[in-house]
A and B are shown apart, each in its own frame.
Chain A
Amino acid sequence: MSSKVSCDGTSVGAGGCGGAGSSGGGGGGGGSNGPCGACKFLRRKCVPGCIFAPYFDQDQGAAYFAAVHKVFGASNVSKLLLHIPVHKRLDAVVTICYEAQSRLRDPVYGCVSHIFALQQQVMNLQSDLSYLQGHLDGLQIPTPPPPPPPPVQPLVMPPVLSISDLPTSAIVPPTYDLSSLFDPVGQTQWMLQLPHQQTDPCQYGGGATRAPPEMSPSGSGAGGGDDLQELARELLQQHANPTVPCTRAPPLPPDSK
């Protein structure tokens, strides 16, 4: 198998992450104090210009990176980020972290289960819309009372979707702003009654990685939507204050100190 991950960073591309040679541990990392979360997790020297440093701080960053590394591999993520413009990398990191955590939580479907649930919801709403539009059209006709509407169609669950039915591309506007995910006005709209898949988190593998921090403090059935908002909020706050560790710490993994 290809060893995508190399603790000494030799397989990592440009950007200064290849801290080969001297042992890991202290030294000038991407931040002002010590290694970034990624290099701390990988136990390697964090060099200036480390591609991960702006996005994974020393505190929570290591936990987030653990999930990313477990699912994608540090090398793959590094290559991915290198091909993304710098001003878009934070968005990419947020989404990668989300997908990694979803995959750890649900090794079979990952975040695709969330997409399934949303797709079902869209279909249900469209069905309701069609019915109500027909009802409205009937009320608006200024004629003798129309015949009684057809029997109310119960909300029939659409046929089970398969992965091949899911959309594969989204027209995301170039000015897409992930911070809008936790817009307070729109939050109620994001609170979806989703059948959150309860799976044991982080069941596979062991080793040095640890379970990612719990993202949704009280998922009111909103599952993936809340997780993404919380994750986006955390990472955007950290990015906004690169020299200040995240003070509002989400629940830590059990053995994280």
Chain B
Amino acid sequence: MTSTRCAACKHLRRRCPPDCIFSPYFPSDNPQRFAYVHRIYGASNIAKILQDLPVHIRGEAADSLYYEAHCRMKDPIHGCVGIITLLHQQIYNAQTQLSKIQAEIAVLSAKAQTESHYQHQVEHVPNVDENF
């Protein structure tokens, strides 16, 4: 029997029917993809999620499920939240840095403006000697 089973049916050791809900999204050349989602969610939960979605967005759903499962496998405690936390930290650091640079620019701009104003005043003040 030539194996045309999808990764899911291979993993579950069953025949892969023509209308298998998994086969478009879990090809046989990537067994890890289904292994991860199966470990975290379970095959039946994945099937329910996919079945309740329109066909044209099931692929995205499968991708996001795999991503979350992958994160959870790498970090069983935090899963995706670890990534979210990391990104929050990056945002916080970038905003802090941005504020600092904006402040420095404001100071330098004000200083440059003051110097330019002073120079302008000096150029237009009448000769001091004439007053004495």
Contact = CB atoms under 8 A, between A and B. Distances in A.
Interface in A169-200: 169-172, 176, 181, 186, 189-190, 192
Interface residues of A, number: 65
B41 A189 contact: no
B131 interface: no
Contact of B94 (A75, A129, A168): A129
Contacts of A139: 105, 108-109, 112
A41 to B, nearest CB: 16
Contact of A118 (B63, B70, B74, B91): B91
A110 B91 contact: no
A98 interface: yes
Interface residues of B, number: 54
A205 B48 contact: yes
Nearest to A79: B39
Interface string B76-100: 1111111111111011101101100
A88 B85 CA distance: 17
**Binding site secondary structure of chain A:** helix
B16 to A, nearest CB: 14
Interface stretch (A44-52, A120-128, A241-249): A120-128
B101 A132 contact: yes
A76 B87 contact: no
A3 interface: yes
A167 interface: yes
A234 B57 CA distance: 33
Given A110-B68, A112-B68, A125-B91, A228 B84 contact: yes
Interface in A117-151: 118-119, 121-122, 125-126, 128-129, 132-133, 135-136, 139-140
Contacts of A257: none
B10 to A, nearest CB: 15
Nearest to B79: A95
A98 B81 CA distance: 8
A111 B84 contact: yes
- Looking at B48, B64, B65, B77, the one whose CB has the most chain A CB atoms below 10 A away is B77
A203 B57 CA distance: 15
B130 interface: no
A168 B70 contact: yes
A147 B48 CA distance: 62
A163 interface: yes
B53 A92 contact: no
Contacts of A205: 48, 52
5 closest Cβ contacts across the A-B interface? A204-B52, A170-B82, A125-B94, A118-B87, A1-B44
Given A110-B65, A186-B92, 17 more contacts: A2-B12, A2-B43, A3-B44, A84-B76, A88-B77, A92-B77, A108-B61, A110-B68, A111-B81, A112-B68, A115-B87, A122-B94, A132-B98, A140-B108, A163-B64, A172-B75, A190-B88
17 contacts: A1-B47, A72-B45, A73-B44, A103-B68, A118-B87, A122-B90, A129-B94, A163-B67, A167-B83, A167-B87, A170-B82, A170-B86, A176-B78, A189-B88, A192-B91, A204-B48, A205-B52
